[in-house]
Structure 1
Amino acid sequence: MDKQFFTRNRKKLYETLEDQSLTILFAGEAAHQSADESYPFYPNRNFYYLTGITEPKIVFVATKYGGQVHETLFIQRADPWMARWYGETITADEAREASGIENIELLDKLDSFIRGEFDGRVYRHLYADLEAKSWEFPSKPSNKFAAEAAVHYPYLTIHNLYPVLSNFRVIKSPEEIEQIRKAGQITADGIRHVLANARPGMREYELEAYFNFILKSRGVTEFAFPTILASGYNGTILHYSANTGTATDGSLVLLDLGAQYNYYNGDISYTFPVNGRFTPRQKQIYDIVLRCNRAITKKVRPGLPFKELNQFTIRFFTEELLKIGLIKKPEDVRKYYFHGVSHSLGLDTHDVGNYRETKLAPGEVITNEPGLYIPEESIGIRIEDDILCTEDGYEVLTEGLPRTTDEIETYMTEHNANMK
């Protein structure tokens, strides 16, 4: 992403801030795992959205005073000894080039900088990313900083930037849409590789390895989320991710997976028969889900209430399942369809924002993932695409995969040597 993207994001934020305010955001640090090991580091997504910086421990501060904005990025001091173990940390020039922020200071000067600002000026507002999912949610650096600031400077009004930045992120820029499109394309290539190598008797993690290979070969180092690769009964468990079962002859395999490209995510669900042939019953249920998926796609347009997507899905499945006798009364539909049909997609797989209570708008990227799960028949089917809401309708960003039962069977016959 070009630094102009991050500069524009900051400028948009500054327009919302009160005068006499100080804003602070933290990149975060990798969580400790055990002994001398830490979990992989992922930058706080709101921090990345404003700065383009992907290294840990870095802090961004912006002041708005007298209508003038001054922004500073605090980076780690170079440590030649640690560099031999873990590599060089970002330099001032690299930080300027990535972020578009000219003023770069060392992290060990942050405390004195903050004290100097509050000693030399009368600030009335503090803005921080105060994300908290629940009372028990682990306290993050921004939360700790705000709590300490409230003690030392009780006259400050503290503002939560999390909902502000979350709502900014709902509408994607052209640059963001291209990252999501690329993530979806790589994800689709991985699915094709699974189809081309599947055979009955494989362990789920063996099938998963074919997906992983394509992502790594395309330069993708991170996944959008832990891969779900579920065969047979496991496919009826929504967030099954053990991937240790065996795909027996005659079973369906449900994939829910995604590549992460430049921190933006793809998210596709796909279902296929491991032996290359659907049974009549599998085909019947699959066709219902596919028709629902395509009907939902055609509904996407600016002004459509987001919640209408799931309400439509429930109505659609209710009518279809009553027809085939799987349910006897409408309220039983939730036995076989029990999740939502869509979520926003972007820097987070289940992306942020208040889109659930609003209407679709141009630039939103959402998922379309109807599914039916029949545990007593070991049938789990979910079909998911990523869709961009455009000025006059929609664009499917994950177009091109074989989707009908005939297309899937033909693809496996033509590309999978195990089917010959």
Structure 2
Amino acid sequence: MKYEQIDSNLFVKNRKKFMSQMKPGAIAVFNSNDIYPISADSTMPFQQHRDIFYLSGVDQEESILVLFPDAPYEHQREILFLTETSEHIAIWHGAKLDKKQAFEVSGIKSVYWLQDFNKVFYELMTYADTMYINTNEHYRASVETETREDRFIKWWKEKYPAHKVEKSNPILQRLRSIKEPEEIALIQKACDNTEKGFRRLLGFVKPGVWEYEIEAELLHEFVRNRSKGFAYGPIIASGNNANVLHYVENNKQCKDGDLLLLDVAAEYANYSSDLTRTIPVSGRYSKRQADVYNAVLRVKNEATKMLVPGTLWKEYHVEVGKIMTSELLGLGLIDKADVQNEDPTWPAYKKYFMHGTSHHLGLDTHDYGLLHEPMKANMVFTVEPGIYIPEEGFGIRIEDDVVVQESGEPFNLMRNIPIEIDEIETLMNAK
């Protein structure tokens, strides 16, 4: 890992919260992700399953976490199973966690090697009535690959068909959506790294640079600040490319007069940040570009004020739509007749602003959170309105990451990242 080791007290707290929600006599199991093959002997870079990381801090493959708060013996209540490290593994791939290191990372005293799992697990299951399985129920999930977790669930159902079944995901959706102070600090670190990358770009972007060169500048800055890199696939979209919401080719040359939409952000310790800024390739916004930019900025600022405890996500987006409608009328992009005749299921403003305004942020860029439940303090949300005008050859999106506060306006984790036109132009034209 590149990041500094996280205090294990965070993971101790997270496990206590999860176990307090389990039913009596229940056991829960969490598996690491696979290392996914590409072809021949090539593999994708490993990414840890966020649930086992959230509960243990263990950031390596072939790991299993077992939680059994009602186990008859204390050493059975929290158990880690890890691949046994060896001199051979250390030489070829780098040493894995030993038992002492695993305790330092996780705060879990009972650590076994993976080859002992079946024997130890069998004894635990003789004491348990209920099994919590860990399924992916995120509202945006669309998974075709069979995961290590899927294979474990199949094996467990065949091996232990008489046990009751519960789901871990509803508990985790609520727990992970409300961040501990340590987690907010890690997201802030990711945002700080993103700021460094963005400021680097303001002195680099000019007519003639290529989108992929900008991507390289960002990656350089992120990695040198102990990040694995981008929190998600970077969107570096000049000109009309900005009107493709998930443009990821990043292979066009930036032209004089273009706007450049940058939806790019660093991760840190598996926690995401999520930034969007739209800057002028030439260093100066045109009058029309500035008018649209400021309209988007006003929507973002007003939307941010609504991210307070008790707000419902669906109703929030309706209110943001009203604010956007007013701005689009002012820009002449829609007229009163468009609004009066609009389809309630697809309002007039959707022609120019077709996506949502906010999503949960944390260990996943689109993090856990039950959208039908009211917002609570210490949830972290993005705020990202946009206006996309293909007929004028540009699109503008502006995005910050904010923490819902118990009282008052949300706390902006990206408060130090340039956002006003004057500051962006000044930094882009500095000698």
- Aligned residue for 2:3? none
Q: Which runs of 5+ in 1 are unaligned?
A: none
Indicate if the aligned counterparts of 1:83 and 1:89 stay in contact, CA closer than 8 A: yes
1:221 aligns with 2:228: yes
Cα 1:405–1:94 shift into 2, 3 Å: same
Cα 1:135–1:260 shift into 2, 3 Å: closer
> How far off its partner does 1:78 sit?
2.2
1:347 aligns with 2:363: yes
Map residues 308-347 of structure 1 onto 2, 5 A cutoff: 308-328=315-335, 329-330=338-339, 331-347=347-363
1:23 is matched with which residue: 24, 28, 32?
A: 28
1:238 is matched with which residue: 245, 267, 277?
A: 245
Indicate if the aligned counterparts of 1:309 and 1:342 stay in contact, CA closer than 8 A: no
Map residues 14-93 of structure 1 onto 2, 5 A cutoff: 14-65=19-70, 70-93=77-100
1:94 aligns with 2:78: no
Indicate if the aligned counterparts of 2:133 and 2:167 stay in contact, CA closer than 8 A: yes
- Aligned residue for 2:429? 413
> How far off its partner does 1:313 sit?
2.1
Q: Distance in 1 between matches of 2:217 and 2:127?
A: 59
2:407 is matched with which residue: 392, 398, 407?
A: 392
Q: Give the partner amino acid of 2:136.
A: E
Indicate if the aligned counterparts of 1:43 and 1:56 stay in contact, CA closer than 8 A: yes
> How far off its partner does 1:223 sit?
1.6
> How far off its partner does 1:66 sit?
6.2
1:153 aligns with 2:160: yes
Q: Give the partner amino acid of 1:398.
A: M
> How far off its partner does 1:94 sit?
0.4
2:392 is matched with which residue: 348, 361, 377?
A: 377
Indicate if the aligned counterparts of 1:58 and 1:73 stay in contact, CA closer than 8 A: yes
1:190 aligns with 2:197: yes
Cα 1:131–1:325 shift into 2, 3 Å: same
Q: Distance in 1 between matches of 2:196 and 2:179?
A: 24
Q: Give the partner amino acid of 1:215.
A: F
| Stretch deviating more after TM superposition (8-17 or 31-40) | 8-17
Q: Distance in 2 between matches of 1:302 and 1:17?
A: 26
Identity of aligned residues (%): 34
Deviations 1:268-297 (A, max 9, x none): 100010101111111111111011111112
- Point out the structure with the larger strand share: 1
Q: Distance in 2 between matches of 1:135 and 1:358?
A: 22
| Stretch deviating more after TM superposition (327-336 or 272-281) | 327-336
Deviations 1:31-68 (A, max 9, x none): 11111011011111010001010010011112243676
Q: Distance in 2 between matches of 1:7 and 1:122?
A: 23
Q: Give the partner amino acid of 2:8.
A: K
Q: Secondary structure at the match of 2:381?
A: strand
Q: Distance in 1 between matches of 2:417 and 2:244?
A: 24
Q: Which runs of 4+ in 1 moved over 4 A?
A: 66-69, 132-136
Matched residue count: 412
CA RMSD of aligned residues (A): 1.7
Cα 1:151–1:213 shift into 2, 3 Å: closer
Indicate if the aligned counterparts of 2:292 and 2:331 stay in contact, CA closer than 8 A: no
Q: Secondary structure at the match of 2:428?
A: helix
| Stretch deviating more after TM superposition (104-113 or 214-223) | 214-223
Indicate if the aligned counterparts of 2:178 and 2:377 stay in contact, CA closer than 8 A: yes
- Aligned residue for 2:147? 140
Q: Which runs of 5+ in 2 are unaligned?
A: 1-5, 340-346
1:268 aligns with 2:275: yes
Indicate if the aligned counterparts of 2:188 and 2:413 stay in contact, CA closer than 8 A: yes
Indicate if the aligned counterparts of 1:306 and 1:357 stay in contact, CA closer than 8 A: yes
